[in-house]
Amino acid sequence: MGRLADKVAIITGAGTGIGAACAIRFAQEGAKVVLCGRRAEPLREVAAQITTAGGSAEARPLDVGDEHAFTAVINETAARYGRLDILVNNAVVAGGGGLIANLTTDQWLESFKVTLDGTFFGVRAAMPIMVRQNAGSIVNVASVCGLLGSLYTAGYSSAKAAVINFTRVAALEGARHNVRVNVIAPGAVFTPSFEASVPEGKAREATANAIPLGRVGDPMELANAILFMASDEASFITGTTLAVDGGKTCELSLASALGNAG
């Protein structure tokens, strides 16, 4: 307990899934947490859960793709608490799926509005605050889809890949000021979006079986990885991408080759 004692953290996409789990874990470790997201009710429910347990949390509904609204919340939070120690850019819009030839321009751009633009807006606003403090940690949540190709995810995967390289540049800018910027790249995680996109039954079983650890991840497992990156325990880590994916990205599948060899 107390790994984030008295630290001030802003978490986006905090109403459900990984963001909600992250907010709960941060509060358990002593952080004052500001929860951001587009839907007010889930944010308030998570904030209430945290405060009922004795933690500090407030809900700030907003669209992180709105640069003025997001920047205002970051500046207001720093002014109210006197500092901003942690920013977790977790909000995402997957955009349209399907083959590249069938993607509309609007669907393509929608993939970037929150995932990449929102991350940029957050880092741009938080970086000067953290530089003045000579301390801070930013964790951007990408995806293993930003590391490897995945059918039907051209916009989403491209936006997540851009987040990863943007993070490297931000890490270089912040390094001399003791501001660390890192990426967590989740694999398949049991979130509401996963539940909606992967039906129960054989599809979920196949997804789990395709992961070396043999199961889909839990949001709290991602929250623990983000907690580590945000904490002082990761004080010599910046500009890196940590895949939290049950081993999926370390595997070169030779199933078809082995089958043909037989």
Position 192 scores a pLDDT of 82
CB distance 59 to 35 below 8 Å: yes
CB distance 198 to 204 below 8 Å: yes
36 — phi, psi (to 5°)? -120, 150
Calpha distance 48→56 (Å, rounded): 9
Percent of the chain with pLDDT over 70: 95
Q: Mean pLDDT, to the nearest integer, of 210-226?
A: 96
> Rounded to 5, what percent of the chain is helix, strand, coil?
50, 15, 30
Question: Helix 154-175 to helix 119-133 angle, to the nearest 10 degrees?
Answer: 10
212 — phi, psi (to 5°)? -50, -40
Task: Give me 171's structure tokens.
Answer: 């890490």
Strand-strand pairing, 136-141 and 241-244: unpaired
Tens digit of each residue's pLDDT (9 = 90 or more) over 196-214:
778 778 888 888 999 999 9
Tens digit of each residue's pLDDT (9 = 90 or more) over 144-195:
999 999 899 999 999 999 999 999 999 999 999 999 999 999 999 988 888 8
Predicted TM-score of the model (pTM): 0.93
Q: Give catalytic status of residue 81 as yes or no.
A: no
Position 254 scores a pLDDT of 63
Biggest distance spanned by C-alpha atoms of the chain = 67
- Which of the following CATH numbers is that of domain 8-261: 3.30.70.141, 3.30.9.10, 3.40.50.720, 3.40.190.10? 3.40.50.720
Exactly one of 26, 112, 156, 166 is catalytic; name it.
156
